[in-house]
């Protein structure tokens, strides 16, 4: 097996908007890697928690309110190309995610491929 350097992108999204977000990401990039395309992993719904800070215009919850909402963890990998990553973050995730500040993590890691 060979190790391939990749960005692993993890984003949390309400279950009702999961398919919209996935289609928005795939409209920007087909996530092709290692002979496959559209590679994504999603985890069963969990719960996201946050408190809205006073003065914040939140898509969910009011100032000072503790919000607990269902969420799905969506992950995918791309080759370590900073321009490709920025397009996905701006045009794929931010443009199609319902939250003002989507929870997105970007890790550098390696993918083991044959």
DSSP-assigned letters across all residues of 40-84: -EEPPPEEEEEEPPTT---SSS-TT-EEEEEEEEEEEEEES-HHH
In a domain, 54, yes or no: no
In a domain, 15, yes or no: yes
In a domain, 84, yes or no: yes
In a domain, 96, yes or no: yes
CA 59/CA 64 separation, integer angstroms:
14
Range of the domain at 101: 2-42+74-113
In a domain, 57, yes or no: no
In a domain, 60, yes or no: no
In a domain, 93, yes or no: yes
pLDDT digits (tens, 9 = 90+) for 53-63: 888 777 777 78
Window from 45-59, 68-82, 96-110 with minimum mean pLDDT: 45-59
Residue 41 CA, distance from chain mean position = 10
The strand pairing partners of 68, in sequence order, are 49
Phi, psi angles (nearest 5°) of residue 42: -130, 140
Full-prediction pTM beyond 0.85? Answer: yes
Q: What is the pLDDT of residue 87?
A: 98
Residue 20 has which token pair? Answer: 């919209």
pLDDT digits (tens, 9 = 90+) for 23-33: 999 999 999 87
Q: Residue 79's domain is classified under what CATH number?
A: 3.30.70.120
**For the chain, how many structural domains are there in total?**
1
In a domain, 24, yes or no: yes
């Amino acid at each position: 097996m060979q190790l391939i350097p990749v960005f692993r992108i993890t984003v949390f999204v309400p279950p009702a908007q999961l398919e919209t977000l996935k289609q928005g990401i795939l409209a920007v990039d087909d996530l092709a890697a290692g002979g496959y395309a559209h590679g994504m992993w999603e985890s069963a719904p969990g719960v996201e928690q946050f408190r809205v800070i006073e003065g914040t215009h939140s898509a969910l919850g009011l100032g000072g309110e503790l919000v607990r909402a269902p969420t799905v963890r969506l992950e995918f990998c791309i080759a370590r190309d900073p321009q490709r990553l920025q397009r996905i973050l701006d045009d794929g995730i931010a443009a199609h995610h319902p939250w003002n500040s989507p929870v997105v993590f970007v890790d550098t890691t390696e993918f083991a491929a044959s």
